[in-house]
Amino acid sequence: SQTIHQWPATLVQPVGSPLSLECTVEGTSNPNLYWYRQAAGRGLQLLFYSVVIGQISSEVPQNLSASRPQDRQFILSSKKLLLSDSGFYLCAWNTLRGGAGELFFGEGSRLTVL
């Protein structure tokens, strides 16, 4: 069965510091990978997605970047965090091969920028 791992679960960082959130998927190959942010409140904002290794699509301009160094690894980064980067970050994966394309989410990373 497929699993998705996301870490760290909680992170407190000062403004101006770098960020690296990691996500890995096991039990499948060539997944589509996604980073979402959920700000205080509830809405999900799609930040980045990748359908193949080395290719990243950005949905909104921002202080963050994403990379996919391996097929099942997705990394969210920032060189200098802003207060507005605080939020709950969710990694997800799906496949459109023979299915409806439902997303499967990691447990999330809570980032607080002080």
- Which positions lie near other proteins, rule CB under 8 A? 6, 32, 34, 42-44, 46, 49, 88, 90, 92, 94, 100-108, 110
Least distance from other proteins to the Cβ atom of residue 16, Å: 26
Please identify, using beta-carbon distances, which residue of 82 and 103 lies nearer to other proteins. 103
Count of CB atoms within 10 A of residue 99's CB? 8
Please identify, using beta-carbon distances, which residue of 103 and 114 lies nearer to other proteins. 103
| 35 close to 90: Cβ distance less than 8 angstroms | yes
In sequence order, the β-bridge partners of residue 25 are 4
Least distance from other proteins to the Cβ atom of residue 101, Å: 6
Q: The tokens of 74 are what?
A: 């997705």
Please identify, using beta-carbon distances, which residue of 46 and 56 lies nearer to other proteins. 46
Least distance from other proteins to the Cβ atom of residue 37, Å: 12
Q: How far does Cα 97 stand from its chain's mean position? A: 22
Least distance from other proteins to the Cβ atom of residue 67, Å: 19
User: Phi and psi dihedrals of 83, rounded to 5?
Assistant: -55, -35
Please identify, using beta-carbon distances, which residue of 5 and 18 lies nearer to other proteins. 5
